[in-house]
Amino acid sequence: MKRDGRKLDHKTLEEIRRMAVQRVWNGEKPSVVIASYGFSRQIIYKWLREARGKGRGLRTLISRKGTGRPRTLTPKQEQQLFRWINGKDPRQHGFDFGMWTRLIVRKLIADKFEANLGLTAVGKLLAKLGLTPQKPLKRAYERDPVAIEAWKTDVYPAIAKRAKKRGAEIFFWDESGFRSDSVQGKTWGVKGQTPIISVPGTRQAVSAASAVNAKGGFWCATYKGGMNAELFIALLKAMMFRRKKPVLLILDSLPATKPRSSKITLRRPKGSLNSTFCRATPPNSIRMRWCGIT
C-alpha cells in the first residue's frame, strides 16, 4: 500500500530516510527497502544521491525548515494594514464602496506599499491578521456618540424613574416595511452554485408598526401606504386597546410621529385609563429589529 509522505511529520520522515539509506548501505536492495515503508520507488534513489559523497552521509537527510516564498509585506506593514481595515470604512481611503473585499484590500496594498498580491494571497494575509468576512451591523450617519451617552446616562434614567413612579410601562416604537420579492435568510446548496429562489413578478409591499419593552412585551400592526399623523394616532389607539397600565412610548424620528405638543394623551371611552406618550427620542433611533419574517 502506497503511503503519502506529506501526511507524516518532519521528524518521522527524517527517521525513515535515515533508516532506509542505512539498510541499503548494509546490503539490502533499494526496491525492497522502500517497498517496506510504502513509498514510491524513485524516492529511495534521491535519498541515496543526497547521502553519497565524502563528508555528506546521513546528516544530509536531516529535516530542514522550508523557507517558502519570501513575505511581500514586512510585519510593520501588515500591522499598519490591520489598523487601516479594522473598524474602518474603505471610503475613508478614497474607495467608492462601503465594505471591504479582497479586491479593495489588494488595491489598498498596491497604493500604499507598491506591492502586487494575488487575491488568494490577500485572503491568506487577512486570515493571518485575524480578519474574517462578516455581515456588518448598520449604523446611521447621524449617529452622535456624545448624545448617545447623554441619552443613556441622563435622559433614559429620568424616563425610567418617571415610569416607576406612575407604575407605567416603557415601550419603544418603530416602523418597518416588507416586500414580496425580498429573499430572507439562507438556504443550502452545492458549493459554488448559488441556489435560485422564485419570487413573485409583481412587487407587493406592506408596512408594519411595532412597540416592544425591556421585558419582552411586543405589539405590532400592519398598514398600507406611508405613515401620517392620523394613521399614527389610530395605531396608538389600537395599541392601547384593553391595556391596563399607563405607557410611556419612546418614538423614533419619523416626521409623522412628531406631534405639535410634546405629549399625546389617550383615554379609553370610560376614562379608566390615562396613557401618556412621552416624546423622548434617543439620539440614534432605537429600532426594533424584525428578524425571521418570511
The predicted pLDDT at position 262 comes to 39
The mean of the pLDDT values for the chain is 75
The predicted pLDDT at position 278 comes to 43
CB within 8 Å of 46: residues ≥ 6 apart = none
Match 488595491 to its residue by C-alpha cell.
107
Largest CA distance in the chain: 110
Count CA within 13 A, CB hemisphere, residue 123: 4
What angle is formed at CA 71 by the lines to CA 65 and CA 77, rounded to 5 degrees?
135
Its pTM stands at: 0.45
Match 498580491 to its residue by C-alpha cell.
117
Give the percent of the chain with pLDDT over 90. Answer: 6
Cα–Cα distance measured from residue 76 to residue 294, given in angstroms and rounded to the nearest whole number? 48
The highest-confidence range among 12-26, 44-58, 71-85, 146-160, by mean pLDDT, is: 71-85
Evaluate if residue 142 carries a pLDDT over 70.
no
Cα–Cα distance measured from residue 168 to residue 123, given in angstroms and rounded to the nearest whole number? 53
- What are the tens digits of pLDDT across the range 48-71? 887 776 657 776 777 666 655 667
Match 464602496 to its residue by C-alpha cell.
97
CB within 8 Å of 252: residues ≥ 6 apart = 173, 174, 175, 281, 285, 286, 287
Cα–Cα distance measured from residue 108 to residue 114, given in angstroms and rounded to the nearest whole number? 9
**DSSP codes joined into one string, 151-183:** IIIIIHHHHHHHHHHHTPEEEEEEEEEEETTPP
- What are the tens digits of pLDDT across the range 207-237? 888 888 888 888 889 988 888 888 888 888 8
- What are the tens digits of pLDDT across the range 14-46? 888 888 888 888 888 888 888 888 888 788 888
Cα–Cα distance measured from residue 13 to residue 35, given in angstroms and rounded to the nearest whole number? 15
251 contacts 236 by C-beta, under 8 angstroms? no
H-helix segments, the chain? 10-25, 30-37, 41-51, 75-85, 102-113, 119-128, 145-150, 156-166, 229-240
What angle is formed at CA 278 by the lines to CA 220 and CA 206, rounded to 5 degrees?
25
Cβ-in-10-Å burial (0-12, 13-18, 19+) of 178 comes to middle
